[in-house]
Amino acid sequence: MSNAAIKLSTADVRRDTVVASAITVFAQTGYLGTSVASVAQHAGISPAYVFKLFPSKELLFVTALDHCFELVRAALEQGAATSKDQTPEAILYAMGEAYADLMADHSLLMLQVHAQSAASVPEIGAALRKGLRIISMFAKTRSQASDDAVQLFIAYGQLCHLIVVTGLDSDTSAWARMITAGIRHP
Amino acid sequence: MSNAAIKLSTADVRRDTVVASAITVFAQTGYLGTSVASVAQHAGISPAYVFKLFPSKELLFVTALDHCFELVRAALEQGAATSKDQTPEAILYAMGEAYADLMADHSLLMLQVHAQSAASVPEIGAALRKGLRIISMFAKTRSQASDDAVQLFIAYGQLCHLIVVTGLDSDTSAWARMITAGIRHP
DNA sequence: CAAAATAGTGAGTGATTAGTCACTCAAATT
DNA sequence: AATTTGAGTGACTAATCACTCACTATTTTG
């Protein structure tokens, strides 16, 4: 009975679909701006059943955020694995490309932006910190790059978020091009 | 109430105090998480009068955000002026120091974070874009640094926001020190 | 088949809040 | 003194929303 062979109960399957809907909807309207009812509607079930699957809106958001960071980590791993050159710089660059690809639909990016705004909710702040720790440590240990290079990697990730949030990627003015130059804006 | 000591303020003075309160309170609880009543309470007036001074919560937030960016720009200007060395690199560094000083109480920093989360409200997104344009262009023209250096300046600003939002500045673990190294965390 | 367990919902409740409106009172103006 | 102007408020309204609960329907099991 390996883990992969375990047949998920329908409640567990439902939970997964609700988390997927939560990522999409929370990414669109943020933590406070999203009603549990709208997540339920996106998932095709009643609001009452969402509360059966997740005890609170807060925990639903945290679960979605945890899942988001796991997807990011997996993407970085995949990116590193497909890097031609296995030097630290090349690996970090490949991770950046993989990150940009993953952010292409903006959902996982916007969820992180909204999480930062909601970080004063203790559980959300903790989840954000944990996700950042996972990403930072994975980038460091997998690439073996210098601390400075990893810091820069994270900083450019944040710049990427700003670019998307402000819509600068489709702004051709000189100042906007200065900010977005060389960034694979998703 | 017959109290001759009560001094009525002019509407313009009142508007300024309300904007100051709005910066503080919106910074604490975000755009959707802040009621106009709580801003009114902080300013010591009734909610109804806030709506007399500002036609909507949205416009109150935008006014506060505009003011925030003007304060940032003024701080950068002051920082640049007090830079010993007037090389581009030194000026940009002095601006970074001035920015860190200005963000010391976190209000102007958190307001920007919340604005990013609320940027899908068209007027808020526009104000954010305008503020970023003002800051970027001022940094560029005043320092005469390269485009890349200015981009890095903005990216590290965003990293600074992340550090504060996650409370990493008071985290002494190895990974946290890697992210915060060399950053004047406000 | 009967019974137990599990999936799922309709119909609420109580709290919050953006915005309105009719109003009061102090101060300036005539 | 009388009038006008502008500062400021109390008391609403209509909507939204997190969360609950009593309930039904379906599936699994003994």
User: Residues A19-39: pLDDT tens digits?
Assistant: 999 999 999 999 999 999 999
Query: Is residue B5 pLDDT above 80, yes or no?
Result: no
CA distances to A110, B36, B118, B122, B186 from A121, in Å: 18, 20, 17, 26, 21
Q: What is the mean pLDDT of residues A43-64?
A: 98
Query: Is residue B2 pLDDT above 50, yes or no?
Result: no
Indicate yes or no: strand C within 7 A of the C-beta of B37.
yes
| Residue B81, CB-side half-sphere exposure with 13 Å CA sphere | 6
Banded pLDDT at A1 (limits 50, 70, 90): very low
Q: How far apart are the first and last CA of chain A?
A: 41
Q: What are B102-140's pLDDT values in tens digits?
A: 999 999 999 999 999 999 999 999 999 999 999 999 999
Name which of B33, B120, B137 is nearest A175 (Cβ-Cβ).
B137
Tokens of B171: 């985290």
The proportion of chain A whose per-residue pLDDT surpasses 70, expressed as a percent, equals 94
The answer to whether A122 and A130 are in contact (CB under 8 A) is: no
| Burial zone of B148 (CB within 10 Å; 0-12 exposed, 13-18 middle, 19+ buried) | exposed
Distance CA A155, CA B159 (A): 5
Q: Does A167 touch chain B (CB under 8 A)?
A: yes
Residue A104's H or E segment, with its range, is none
Banded pLDDT at B3 (limits 50, 70, 90): very low
What are the percentages of helix, strand and coil residues in chain A, rounded to 5? 75, 0, 25
Read out DSSP for B19-30? HHHHHHHHHHH-
The proportion of chain B whose per-residue pLDDT surpasses 70, expressed as a percent, equals 94
Separation in Å: D11 C1' and B48 CA: 11
One-letter amino acid identity for B95?
M
Distance CA A20, CA A98 (A): 20
8 Å CB contact of B125 and A167: yes
CA distance B73 to chain A (A): 16
The answer to whether B155 and A130 are in contact (CB under 8 A) is: no
- Looking at residue A34, its pLDDT comes to 98
Q: Does A165 touch chain B (CB under 8 A)?
A: yes
Distance CA B171, CA A129 (A): 10
Query: What's the pTM?
Result: 0.94
Q: Does A28 touch chain B (CB under 8 A)?
A: yes
Query: Is residue B47 pLDDT above 70, yes or no?
Result: yes
Name which of B167, B171, B175 is nearest A137 (Cβ-Cβ).
B175
Query: If you search the block for the tokens 């406070």, which residue do you land on?
Result: A32
CA distance A120 to chain B (A): 8
- Looking at residue A158, its pLDDT comes to 98
- Looking at residue B4, its pLDDT comes to 34
Read out DSSP for B63-94? HHHHHHHHHHHHHHHHHHHT-SS-SHHHHHHH
Distance CA A94, CA A76 (A): 8
Residue whose C-alpha is closest to residue A101's, from A77, A85, A79, A132 = A79
One-letter amino acid identity for B35?
S
Q: What are A100-148's pLDDT values in tens digits?
A: 999 999 999 999 999 999 999 999 999 999 999 999 999 999 999 999 9
- pLDDT, averaged across chain A: 94
- pLDDT, averaged across chain B: 94
The answer to whether B135 and B73 are in contact (CB under 8 A) is: yes
Separation in Å: C18 C1' and A42 CA: 27
Handedness of CA B26, B28, B31, B34 (dihedral sign): negative
Q: Which of A179, A183, A185 to mutate to test the interface with B (most CBs of B within 10 A)?
A: A179
8 Å CB contact of B162 and A137: no
Q: What are B24-38's pLDDT values in tens digits?
A: 999 999 999 999 999
Banded pLDDT at B10 (limits 50, 70, 90): confident
Distance CA B69, CA A108 (A): 28
Residues 6+ apart with CB under 8 A from A168: A162, A176, A179, A180, A185, B129, B132
8 Å CB contact of B140 and A178: yes
Strand segments, DSSP code E, in chain A are none
Residue whose C-alpha is closest to residue A26's, from A70, A60, A51, A54 = A60
Q: Does B30 touch chain A (CB under 8 A)?
A: yes
Indicate yes or no: strand C within 7 A of the C-beta of B82.
no
The alpha carbon of residue A130 and the mean position of all alpha carbons in its chain are separated, in whole angstroms, by 12
Residue whose C-alpha is closest to residue B133's, from A159, A169, A175, A161 = A175
CA–CA–CA angle A48, A30, A110 (5° rounding): 125
> How many Cβ atoms from other residues are within 10 Å of residue A146's Cβ?
14
